[in-house]
Structure 1
Amino acid sequence: MLATQNGLVGDLNYYTDTQIKMRREKVKAAVNAVHSVVDPILKYVHDKDPRFSHQTWNSGSYASGLKVTEPNEFDFNVPMEGLPNLIWKTADKPAYYTIDVDGQLVETKVPLPNPPNGYHNVTIDTVSDIWKPENNMKMGDYVVPFKVKTIFKVLVKNAVRECKLRESVRVLKKTHGPAITLMVSSGEERISVDLVPLVPANGRGLPPNVLNSWPRSPVWPPKHKVEEVRKIGTDSVAKDNLYWLTSFSRCEIALLDGIDSDEGCRKQCLRLLKKIREDHWQSPALSSYHLKNLLLWECEKYPNSHDWSRDMLGQRFVGLVGSLLKCLRGQNCPHYFIPSINLFRNKENSKLKEPENLLLIADKVQEFYENPCGFIGEWKDGN
């Protein structure tokens, strides 16, 4: 068993060095290409509507140092400005609006249902001067994600035209999700850039249901990380048209920042799993976010530095694969901060997104789990 583990550690390290590490020159070129279009676009948007910041917050795999393929995808959050310090509270008045069959926001006589688990409404009754001239993002006291996304997308498209960027960037047509997606051309490379409007936490901290139940372990995360996450709080992302998604993105980035300061192998395990997913288990049913969420659970399960030492790479990696397999077989991927949320389920109807594909992936993961040395060795020899 020890010899097998040692062999697996060697193969995993070789696989990391040859298949995962990106060339710094290529990353730098991609970053420069992205900012050459994103910066003028957001400056234009901010000049036309100062409620949108011209500064961005990095998010996604690149921000967490977890990108495993080519530097061809970047995610940026665009915070809203001029909002008061928000607090977690139940809205004083129900919301009376919905999206009609023509895709328009309309007032209704029936109140909007309570937000699904993991979502919430954003209500404001006082705003700064930059919000007062127009009320086109609100319905009553509610800031409506649909309005925010619509206004933002129009401004981004106008920016591409007015800033004469059409030869290097185009706005993709997407009807769902929070992001405005740009496709940036850099020589022969095509780089996808997501711009996501959000309402920043503004000091309101974590939602009450999280604050009262997290952290679950007295050991992990470390106390200074717990305090950092509580201070950061959760932002509100315009993922849905009617409700704001409670976003833990900055909390997750904080937890992952410096997570291997003890010379551990946590990020390496996750990057390996992401690379194998992209190369061999590719399916919309299983995302990189599922895997990142899974790593946070593993860190809570194994909180000590010696559990993640470099010579434990094989054991920890196989354990992570086993946890993934359990989630796939049980068709349940619990959210790290809100375990009652199953990330495999749709928000709208709580049904599994792709149950058949989850089981198909589970079969592939099962084969790998039973013989990781064989698969990694085969892939290594084939490259």
Structure 2
Amino acid sequence: MTEMGELTEEDLDFYLQNQVDLRRRKVSKTEEEVYTIVEKLTSVISTEDSRFQPISHSGINNDNIKVQSPSQLFIMIPVRGLSAYTERRLRQWRYYTLSGSKLISPVQEPEKLHQWLEVDQFLKSSQEWHQSDVTIEGDIVPSKVIAICKALLENTIQSSNFQGKQGKVNILESVGPTIRLAVETSEQHVEVELVPAIEIANHWPKKARWPRFLKRWPSKEKARTVKTLLFWTCEKYPRSKDWKNFQKCFLRLVKKLQKCVLQRYLRHYFVKSYNLFKYANTNELDITSQKINDFLMNPGVFFH
């Protein structure tokens, strides 16, 4: 602070960095606590019904957990037993209401309703997905799947093995193919939205609204990787003068990326115990490493 009481650029940088760091630590702690609670919940229900997997099976490097706001999180629950999806050219569309009732007459805007899936559209499907508790005439109905998952969660939350050992959790009223939880962490009360997600190695319809599609790295994870690198770099170089030279800053990020790719390790910025490259394809990482090396050998070719 100057003698006149005016803020200098260094004072402002320090203040902003301190505020960002405080918020990051709070969000990080909340996310870690929520993730731990939901991971234990989903691990328990997975032992009861193998169609639902623990969220740890999808890896933190996926889009399975998103911070919508400091007090609102979105988490996908991977489903198991459906693979090799094939899209049919000719199909007789059928839709169901939010409560699971079959619609008799056609609707004008079917895309606004929750879609169904035919079990036969998967070349491989476990017998559990053919049972009547989740299907109507061979259609997997979202509300039935949600009802089963919700009942499993309720039983787990109310059990003596869970209550008292984890943070306080309650199931909230919800509409549609999601489950809403109220979670009390050490920092604050958080609302968590849970939704089943499917992981398909081949094609998945872009218009499919249910279930959600769980993607592994790469694809959108490339963007997340760059963002994570940027977060860590900003923390290491918090001053504005550290970012005045674009080429120098860019090369700094590229070199950091190369190191992480070679080590097969990039720590998640908010959930620090997780490695973003844990489930990355090693062959693709090797290819990426070679491309980065080619760039660093002669970066001037790429700068204009």
TM-score between the two structures when normalised by the length of structure 1: 0.45
1:106 alignment partner in structure 2: 101
2:262 alignment partner in structure 1: none
Identify which of 197, 220, 225 aligns with 1:257: 225
CA contact (8 A) 1:85 1:203 kept: yes
Range moving further from structure 2, 152-161 or 34-43: 34-43
Residue 162 of structure 2 corresponds to residue 165 of structure 1: yes
3-state SS, counterpart of residue 192 of structure 2: strand
Superposition pairs for residues 41-120 of structure 1, below 5 Å?
41-56=41-56, 57=58, 58=60, 69=70, 72-90=71-89, 92-95=91-94, 97-99=95-97, 104-111=99-106, 115-116=110-111
CA contact (8 A) 1:59 1:76 kept: no
The alpha carbon displacement at 1:144 in A equals 1.9
Distance 1:130 1:33, change over 3 A: farther
Mapped to 2, the partners of 1:141 and 1:110 lie a distance apart of 19
* RMSD over aligned Cα atoms: 4.7
Higher-Rg structure is: 2
1:39-78, CA deviations, whole angstroms, 9 ceiling, x for partnerless residues?
Answer: 33212211221111123445899957x7885xx5443211
CA contact (8 A) 1:115 1:121 kept: no
Distance 1:201 1:237, change over 3 A: farther
Aligned residue pairs total 228
3-state SS, counterpart of residue 118 of structure 2: coil
1:228-252, CA deviations, whole angstroms, 9 ceiling, x for partnerless residues?
Answer: xxxxxxxx664xxxxx567889854
Return 5+ residue gaps in structure 2 as ranges.
1-6, 236-244, 251-304
2:200 alignment partner in structure 1: 201
Distance 1:108 1:154, change over 3 A: same
1:167-207, CA deviations, whole angstroms, 9 ceiling, x for partnerless residues?
Answer: 53333323225432322334463333332212223322573
3-state SS, counterpart of residue 84 of structure 1: strand
Distance 1:308 1:169, change over 3 A: farther
CA contact (8 A) 1:74 1:194 kept: yes
Mapped to 2, the partners of 1:264 and 1:182 lie a distance apart of 29
1:37 alignment partner in structure 2: 37
2:180 alignment partner in structure 1: 181
Distance 1:184 1:51, change over 3 A: same
Return 5+ residue gaps in structure 1 as ranges.
1-6, 210-235, 239-243, 269-304, 311-383
- Identity, in percent, stands at 17
Mapped to 2, the partners of 1:73 and 1:150 lie a distance apart of 22
Mapped to 1, the partners of 2:129 and 2:152 lie a distance apart of 19
1:299-323, CA deviations, whole angstroms, 9 ceiling, x for partnerless residues?
Answer: xxxxxx959969xxxxxxxxxxxxx
1:61-110, CA deviations, whole angstroms, 9 ceiling, x for partnerless residues?
Answer: 9957x7885xx544321111100211344462321x532xxx64223432
Residue 117 of structure 2 corresponds to residue 149 of structure 1: no
Mapped to 2, the partners of 1:44 and 1:181 lie a distance apart of 18
